[in-house]
Amino acid sequence: EVQLVESGGGLVQPGGSLRLSCAASGFTFSSYWMSWVRQAPGKGLEWVANIKQDGSEKYYVDSVKGRFTISRDNAKNSLYLQMNSLRAEDTAVYYCARVPIDYGSGKTYYMDVWGKGTTVTVSS
Amino acid sequence: SYELTQPPSVSVSPGQTASITCSGDKLGDKYACWYQQKPGQSPVLVIYQDSKRPSGIPERFSGSNSGNTATLTISGTQAMDEADYYCQAWDRDVVFGGGTKLTVL
């Protein structure tokens, strides 16, 4: 069964740090781009970051650039999100998602598998 | 930055057809996809690359994309289809629409 399981969320003070993890199983992790997507309470989905299969390319939404770092360990089938200088507006459920590559175009267009998410609360 | 606009809410009677739109500049030149999210659950992909259905998604879900508008159509809407629906496209980066709450009443 294809599965993504996030962990590492919790309550952190403004300015603090947190590291999220996503454990992948049931598929060849190293063959897929991966994403982090977040959802603030009562709000819509917001893309956070993407990482290429080998980790050589990383992309971020402007609001987290310089504060968040996406990474992966293909040997451990794991995706990570290091979050520093956290702000109240980073409070959200964070999902990891699998991103298939269209081998015809070499591009990515959608996220086909999502984890259940982990909750991050930034508050004093 | 690129933006996708969805109506906040759509209502439909059971058995009828629901249409949810997603608007963006020259959206038809990109691939659009749609996610369904029920309360307390993770998003589920229901349409990708404009009109393709993942395995396990009922045939009543269909999609189209042309000009500036992508449309998710649910034919013969059922009570279980009540959910939030999000469109998404890939411009320079990933972009989500604001979401549409579908009410089946």
Q: Is A111 on the interface with B (CB under 8 A)?
A: yes
- The reported pLDDT for the residue numbered B92 is 81
Mutate to test the interface with A, among B1, B9, B94 (most CBs of A within 10 A): B94
Task: Give the residues across from B32 on adjacent strands.
Answer: B89
Q: Is B85 on the interface with A (CB under 8 A)?
A: no
Q: What residues in A contact B35, CB-CB < 8 Å?
A: 45, 111
Mutate to test the interface with A, among B42, B91, B95 (most CBs of A within 10 A): B42
Mutate to test the interface with B, among A36, A62, A110 (most CBs of B within 10 A): A110
Q: Is A32 on the interface with B (CB under 8 A)?
A: no
Q: Does the pLDDT at position B73 exceed 80? A: yes
- The reported pLDDT for the residue numbered A47 is 97
- The reported pLDDT for the residue numbered B91 is 80
pLDDT band at A51 (very low <50, low <70, confident <90, very high): very high
- The reported pLDDT for the residue numbered A101 is 86
- Sequence-distant (6+) residues with CB within 8 A of B30 are B24, B65, B89, B90, B91
Q: How far is it, in rounded angstroms, from Cα B3 to Cα A63?
A: 16
- The reported pLDDT for the residue numbered B6 is 98
Q: Is B96 on the interface with A (CB under 8 A)?
A: yes
How many Cβ atoms from other residues are within 10 Å of residue A72's Cβ? 23
Residue with tokens 């702000």: A87
- Count how many Cα atoms sit within 13 Å of the Cα of residue A80 in the half-sphere of its side chain: 12
Task: Give A13-49 pLDDT, tens digit per residue.
Answer: 999 999 999 999 999 999 999 999 999 999 999 999 9
Q: What residues in A contact B54, CB-CB < 8 Å?
A: 112
Q: Does the pLDDT at position B48 exceed 90? A: yes
Single-letter code of the amino acid located at B102 = L
- The reported pLDDT for the residue numbered B80 is 97
Q: How far is it, in rounded angstroms, from Cα A61 to Cα A63?
A: 6
Instruction: Kindly state the tokens that stand for A91.
Output: 């409070």
Task: Give B14-42 pLDDT, tens digit per residue.
Answer: 999 999 999 999 999 999 999 999 999 99
pLDDT band at A123 (very low <50, low <70, confident <90, very high): very high
| Beta pairing, strands A58-60 & A92-99 | unpaired
Nearest-Cα distance to chain A for B17, in Å, is: 24
Name the helix (H) or strand (E) containing A123. none
Task: Give A59-118 pLDDT, tens digit per residue.
Answer: 999 999 999 999 999 999 999 999 999 999 999 999 999 999 888 887 888 999 999 999
